[in-house]
């Protein structure tokens, strides 16, 4: 089962975490590998991304910073302020001090989070 790579720089951009689609991409790979049946997981992938980032990535990022959850088709979890200043997630690149910070979430934990957030019964 494929693991999920979450880089800290994804928190600093509207287009981070593959424009918020990293969980959909993981599901596609899981379908391709036969882990799940196509269209088996009817789930809000942004909720899953927020959960996995909050549980696994945020504890590794040095503070102070604030996080905002945004209802959007883009990245739904972003830095709102960094080191006490508002963060412009359109114009700025991630700070250099987070360039080497990332986490690999084991595939079994990704799948568990997906199952926790299923919107309907598995066919």
**Residue 40: per-residue pLDDT:** 66
pLDDT band at 120 (very low <50, low <70, confident <90, very high): low
CA–CA distances in Å: residue 84 to residues 45, 87, 99:
30, 9, 19
pLDDT at 123: 42
Q: Which domain holds residue 85?
A: 4-116
Let me know if residue 53 belongs to a domain: yes
Q: How many domains does the chain have?
A: 1
The string of pLDDT tens digits covering residues 97-114 is 999 999 999 999 999 999
**What's the pLDDT at 31?**
85
Which H or E run contains 53?
A: none
| 18 found inside a domain | yes
> Span 13-42, mean pLDDT?
87
Report CA Rg, the chain.
Answer: 15
Indicate the pTM of the whole model.
0.91
**Cα gap 77→58, rounded to integer Å:** 11
95: phi then psi, degrees, rounded to nearest 5: -60, 145
Please report whether residue 121 resides in a domain: no
pLDDT at 48: 96
Residue 122 domain-assigned (yes or no): no
Q: What are phi and psi of 118, to 5 degrees?
A: -55, 135
pLDDT at position 38: 67
Q: Is residue 123 domain-resident?
A: no
Single out the residue of 74, 54, 40, 38 nearest to residue 6, CA to CA: 54
């Amino acid at each position: 089962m494929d693991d999920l790579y979450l880089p800290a720089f994804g928190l600093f951009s509207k287009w981070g975490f593959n424009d918020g689609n990293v969980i959909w991409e993981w599901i596609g790979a899981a379908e391709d590998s036969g882990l799940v049946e196509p269209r088996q997981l009817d789930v809000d992938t942004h909720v899953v991304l927020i959960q996995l980032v909050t549980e696994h990535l945020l504890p590794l990022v040095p503070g102070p910073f604030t996080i905002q959850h945004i209802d959007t088709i883009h990245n739904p979890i972003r830095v709102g302020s960094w080191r006490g200043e508002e963060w412009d997630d359109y114009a700025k690149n991630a700070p250099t001090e987070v360039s080497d910070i990332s986490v690999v979430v084991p595939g079994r934990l990704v799948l568990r989070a997906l199952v926790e957030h299923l919107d309907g019964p598995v066919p």
